């Protein structure tokens, strides 16, 4: 049986900027003359390419479910995602998100979820607090292409022989150690590079919410 490859996407400032969709935010009928939004560069192309490779996409947003679903529908992204998970499901409103609901949607247990889920988001507070899934923390502007996510996902999955987690471990072991004084990363970051020339830093972040949980985190993405 083929293992599912699941990408958990944050909504706002990851897939795009939607805070100017005033009709949805105010509960008025869409569209409104004052509505505007911006999608991340190449996001539709990226989603299509990844789907053709067998990736499954879900949205895991700290926004209300109704808002998230209406935004995706308004910007014509809803058909790319198998499921949308909103605030009541993924967050307690303090720090971090729970990703086991997404895993359970695909009938995965916690062990498989850590291997087969990849989280992509722009905020540190989007990190997993329930499982040690790989977290791509990308603070770059929306003008930066989403195609790097496809490359990173492909690299992790291939290096890990069907596991994002094992791919992370492999890159971490072979990457270049860089000095780090951040206690959240156990004083160690590694710089790694994909075959396509995309580089990034990696580390195991100590969860501020879940004792003993170390979140494999990719950050500081750089393109050639």
- The enclosing domain of 170 has a CATH number of 3.40.50.1000
> Is residue 151 one of the residues assigned to a domain?
yes
> Is residue 102 one of the residues assigned to a domain?
yes
User: pLDDT tens digit string along 102-123?
Assistant: 999 999 999 999 999 999 999 9
> Is residue 188 one of the residues assigned to a domain?
no
* Inter-CA distances, 154 with 22, 56, 151, Å: 37, 13, 5
Examine the pLDDT at 83 and tell me if it is beyond 80: yes
Report the relative pairing of strands 176-179 and 188-193 from DSSP bridges.
antiparallel
pLDDT-derived band at 184 (thresholds 50, 70, 90) equals low
> Is residue 204 one of the residues assigned to a domain?
no
What domain count does the chain have? 1
Predicted pLDDT of residue 183: 60
> Is residue 141 one of the residues assigned to a domain?
yes
Strand partners, 158: none
Structural domain that includes position 62 = 5-174
Examine the pLDDT at 92 and tell me if it is beyond 90: no
In whole angstroms, what is the distance from residue 133 CA to residue 115 CA?
Answer: 7
Report the relative pairing of strands 214-222 and 199-206 from DSSP bridges.
antiparallel
In whole angstroms, what is the distance from residue 212 CA to residue 217 CA?
Answer: 15
> Is residue 180 one of the residues assigned to a domain?
no
> Is residue 190 one of the residues assigned to a domain?
no
Sorted by sequence, the CB contacts under 8 Å of residue 192 that are 6+ apart come out as 171, 172, 174, 175, 176, 199, 200, 201, 202
In whole angstroms, what is the distance from residue 188 CA to residue 99 CA?
Answer: 26
Examine the pLDDT at 189 and tell me if it is beyond 80: no
């Amino acid at each position: 049986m083929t293992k599912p490859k699941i990408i958990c996407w944050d909504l706002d400032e990851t897939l795009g900027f939607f805070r100017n969709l005033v009709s949805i935010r105010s509960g008025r009928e869409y569209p409104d003359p004052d509505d505007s939004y911006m999608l991340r560069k190449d996001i539709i192309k990226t989603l299509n390419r990844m789907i053709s490779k067998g990736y499954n996409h879900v949205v895991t947003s700290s926004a209300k479910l109704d808002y998230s679903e209406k935004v995706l529908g308004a910007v014509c992204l809803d058909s790319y995602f198998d499921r949308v998970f909103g605030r009541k499901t993924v967050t307690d409103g303090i720090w971090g998100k729970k990703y086991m609901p997404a895993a359970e949607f695909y009938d995965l247990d916690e062990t498989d979820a850590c291997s087969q889920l990849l989280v992509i988001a722009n905020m540190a507070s989007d990190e997993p607090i329930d499982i040690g899934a790989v977290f791509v923390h990308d603070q770059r502007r929306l003008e930066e292409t989403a195609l790097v996510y496809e490359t990173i996902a492909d690299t992790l999955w291939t290096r890990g022989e069907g596991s994002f987690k094992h791919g992370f471990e492999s890159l971490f072991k072979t990457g270049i150690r860089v000095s780090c004084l951040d206690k959240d990363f156990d004083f160690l970051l590694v710089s790694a590079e994909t075959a396509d020339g995309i580089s990034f830093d990696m580390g195991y972040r100590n969860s501020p919410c879940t004792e003993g949980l170390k979140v494999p985190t990719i950050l500081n993405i750089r393109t050639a």
